[in-house]
Chain A
């Protein structure tokens, strides 16, 4: 079975450009998470969805960040405009809502903003 699929794996972009990261969760999962990982701050939860509905976006840094989940098999994280401090690894993870269920991670999107 395919795991969580993220794209692009690597992206280098110039400051001010729009960045869109994509995620395809594991089929059948109804929870989806976006995390950002940096050396300084570790793994930070940005936003998570249950049944395509955003439940908690308190971790989203600022208005430049937005996330959508138009259907159960696709989500995007967008940064507009991007800044050098956005450089990080962005992980998508999915799982089943409820007690007794685990969360599985994609391989991450490595973003560098120059």
Chain B
């Protein structure tokens, strides 16, 4: 079945540093979504990408939909302590099915 490989699995960085994480798939997706999940909460949508090659920003977050439609990355610039959480990529195919990567756990040291 479809699988998303997300990396890195975890990151421990200093406040102010930039962060980069990515997802790859063996399948083509029509939509890439990036979510953040904090303890005790459901995933919250950060950025949605709908076209191959699309580059979208949301504040300090930037994400791109890979040109092959099989990958995406998320960058966070100038990290702050409240960026702590688990970040998930998710791909949606033509049938509407949405599957998730394994998540990247981000810890930020003040």
Question: Hey, which bits of chain A sit against chain B, CB under 8 A?
Answer: 4, 31, 33, 35, 42-43, 45, 48, 50, 55-56, 58, 91, 93, 95, 97-108
| 11 extra A-B contacts, CB within 8 A, seeds A35-B100, A48-B96, A102-B45 | A4-B42, A31-B96, A33-B98, A55-B95, A98-B96, A99-B30, A100-B31, A100-B50, A101-B31, A103-B45, A105-B35
Chain A positions within 8 Å of B35 at CB level: 105
> In the complex, which range does the number of interface residues on chain B fall in?
20 to 34
Please report the C-alpha to C-alpha distance between residue A97 and residue B95 in the assembled complex, in whole angstroms. 9
Question: In the complex the two chains form, is B95's CB within 8 Å of A107's CB?
Answer: no
Question: In the complex the two chains form, is A43's CB within 8 Å of B42's CB?
Answer: no
- Number of interchain pairs (Cβ within 8 Å): 59
Question: Hey, which bits of chain B sit against chain A, CB under 8 A?
Answer: 1, 30-31, 33, 35, 41-45, 48, 50, 88, 90, 92, 94-103
8 A-B Cβ contacts within 8 A? A42-B103, A58-B1, A91-B43, A99-B30, A102-B45, A105-B44, A106-B42, A107-B41
Please report the C-alpha to C-alpha distance between residue A50 and residue B93 in the assembled complex, in whole angstroms. 14
Question: In the complex the two chains form, is A56's CB within 8 Å of B48's CB?
Answer: no
Shortest Cβ distance from B45 into A: residue: A102
Chain B positions within 8 Å of A56 at CB level: 95, 97
Chain B positions within 8 Å of A35 at CB level: 100
Please report the C-alpha to C-alpha distance between residue A50 and residue B96 in the assembled complex, in whole angstroms. 8
Chain B positions within 8 Å of A103 at CB level: 33, 45, 90, 92, 98
